[in-house]
Chain A
Amino acid sequence: MSKKDFYIGWQDEMPESTAKFLKKLVTIVGVLVVGLVIVIVTFQRSFNDHVFEFGSQTEVTGVYIAEPYPMLQITHANLAIDAESVLLVGFGKFGASEIMNEIEAENGILDLQEITLKGTLIYGDGVALLELTDQGDSFVRKSGNFRQPLVHDKSNSRISLTGEILDPKCYFGVMKPGEGKIHKSCAIRCLSGGMPPVLRVWDSSSNTYNYYLLSGKNGVEINSELLPFVGEMITFEGVVYTQLNWNVLEIDPKKITRTLANNE
């Protein structure tokens, strides 16, 4: 190194040889980094086409069904997907039970009555949800119509299923990805806040996912018992029944088995 090549940072100019070297270096690093970024994006898993209509409020009219999780059996709504019901969820990482309790405290018991609610639609893969912001904004009216209680046939319906516990709000549109390890903590937070737990099960015969609302026996909420298993592949054994377009799986949380498998 000759004296003229010695670099001193507080001087205005750097040696010409150093400047030439750095120009080459910056160009090479720039090309490498651009290549790296493109490779990383190329091998990324693709995102689902689920939708969260953020910033847009929609009115949905339907029969309110409180158990095992609040939902509306749609009677009048203009939805982008064909769904028999909308599962109700709360603002942020909360379920809708608290808001619905507040609405019922002001408007009387609403279970099995036709009501109109306003919220933000979330939908994908044949499933629709409605995010309620707060009770004042969410409740629009009740029509006075009502329906008979739903009857569930639980005979001969004991099954074993392996899949991942998700929070439906994130998975069906609010977050991408709303599944797997990256989203695990968020799903735990959501279930901890009373969001209905959903089991996603891969059906290899149809190459589609099936979804099951999870509850304890007779619709008892078991969210806190499920928290250690969120985001992992888990095998459940329980009783399945159908409620509107949802499968509901009643399980004993003490009999959950972890499974060695990828969270696909």
Chain B
Amino acid sequence: MLKFADYGIFSGGDLMGVKYEAVLWNRQKKSYDIILWGMIVGILLVFVVSQFLMHPLITLETLIIRATALTAFVLLHLILMIGPLARLDHRFLPLLYNRRHLGVSMFLIALVHGAFSIIQFHALGDVNPIVSVFTSNQNYQAISEFPFQILGFFALIILFLMAATSHDFWLKNLSPKIWKTLHISVYLAYALLIAHVATGALQYENHPAYWAILILGFASVTGLHFTAGFNDYKRLTKEKYAALEDGFVEVCTINEIQDDCAKTVFINGENIAIFKYDGNVSAVHNVCKHQMGPLGEGKIVDGCITCPWHGYQYLPQNGQAPAPFTETLHTYIVKVIGSKVWVHPTPKPEGTFIEPAKVEQT
């Protein structure tokens, strides 16, 4: 019933007790990486060829620094757009599933840029190159003269921490909450890199087209996040629920829930996914234990709630991941009266079995 999901690229394995291994390759994952690295090589090649055609006097060092900077920055934009795009349209989910491959690839390219830049501009001098990054330019007063390398340095540290902990071994050992918090710092890294480019390269390469591209990229990333967030906000606030005396809340009619799918509701701070399957209705907490994915946007596959983000699975009756996995979700009491579905928004302890409500046949 339960398939092994991909749990990472450094040592693979799974979150819930089965041994960690290197990447658990499958056909989709191989295709993803082939296309990803085909694209990376393609960007680098187009950049190198067009440089030699238009600017043949460029030095090899500058070529490497600029090619890797551009490639990594483009990939970072794509990475940041995937999340909201997948929220807006489920057809983007395959990009989300393997996003860590994209992230680690982007970090490696950014590392080449950072290392080459430090060697080029700070090595073979009278102080340690890392010390030089922080001490060479100390003009913090003027934005145009700001020591932009420091911004890139800290962004690279964040990207390193994310790449190094991208595997589910770290997700498990750091706890999903800490892991997620660490990985949300990609937005801090992005902000630092926008400032790094604006106060660095664009102070020299100051053609208006570069500013337009930078602003367009930033607007695309932020615009998609606001759109996805606004959609979620509208969905969560559109429906008002009032509890009856016994604590149950009427949430929808049974026909509003498609077979093997869920309706998600937000009541008294509880994020609940109510699934209809095989004539039964069960409710669980709507947040996957893996990376906090929206379970209610998943489906029942082989009798299990299957997370749309990474395919993690849980039994709908008790919120437990099938053996050998040990993840558990809060469950909620549901009842179906006539065509109406009612839920009690008080969570039961994680993994508590609750008899599914039966859909009344009409």
Contact = CB atoms under 8 A, between A and B. Distances in A.
B5 interface: yes
Interface in B195-216: 199-201, 203-207, 209-210, 213
B88 interface: no
A92 B206 contact: no
Contacts of A26: 35, 39
A192 B308 CA distance: 56
Contacts of B94: 7, 9, 14, 18, 22
Nearest to B312: A10
Contact of B98 (A9, A193, A228, A232): A9
A141 interface: no
Nearest to A174: B59
Question: Which of A7, A26, A43 gathers most chain B CB within 10 Å?
Answer: A7
B354 to A, nearest CB: 24
Interface stretch (A62-70, A182-190, A239-247): A182-190
Contacts of B139: 228, 232
B42 A21 contact: no
Interface in B30-53: 35, 39, 42-43, 46-47, 50-51
Interface string A3-26: 101111111111001100110011
A148 interface: no
B213 A189 contact: no
Given A6-B306, A8-B311, A176-B59, A262 B206 contact: yes
Contacts of A14: 28, 94
Interface residues on B, range: 35 or more
Contacts of B207: 43-45
B269 interface: no
Nearest to B133: A185
Question: Which of A36, A41, A44, A177 gathers most chain B CB within 10 Å?
Answer: A41
B201 A182 contact: yes
A151 interface: no
Contacts of B252: none
B62 interface: yes
A47 B55 contact: yes
Interface in B91-139: 91-95, 97-98, 120-127, 132-133, 136-139
B54 interface: yes
A29 interface: yes
A34 interface: yes
Contact of B122 (A34, A44, A186): A186
A22 to B, nearest CB: 6
A33 interface: yes
Contacts of B42: 30, 33-34
Interface stretch (B144-152, B224-232, B281-289, B315-323): B144-152
B250 interface: no
Given A9-B311, A13-B28, A47-B55, A40 B260 contact: no
Contacts of A92: 123-125
B3 interface: yes
Given A33-B43, A175-B61, A10 B301 contact: no
8 contacts: A9-B93, A11-B3, A93-B124, A177-B204, A180-B203, A181-B204, A189-B125, A189-B126
Interface of A: 1, 3, 5-14, 17-18, 21-22, 25-26, 29-30, 33-34, 36-49, 91-94, 175-177, 180-186, 188-190, 192-193, 228, 231-232, 262-263
Given A9-B5, A43-B205, A91-B124, 18 more contacts: A7-B308, A9-B310, A11-B26, A11-B311, A34-B42, A39-B213, A41-B55, A44-B54, A44-B55, A44-B207, A47-B58, A92-B123, A181-B145, A181-B199, A181-B200, A188-B136, A189-B121, A190-B125
Please list the 5 inter-chain residue pairs (A to B) with the smallest Cβ-Cβ separation, ordered nearest first. A92-B124, A9-B97, A181-B203, A93-B125, A185-B136
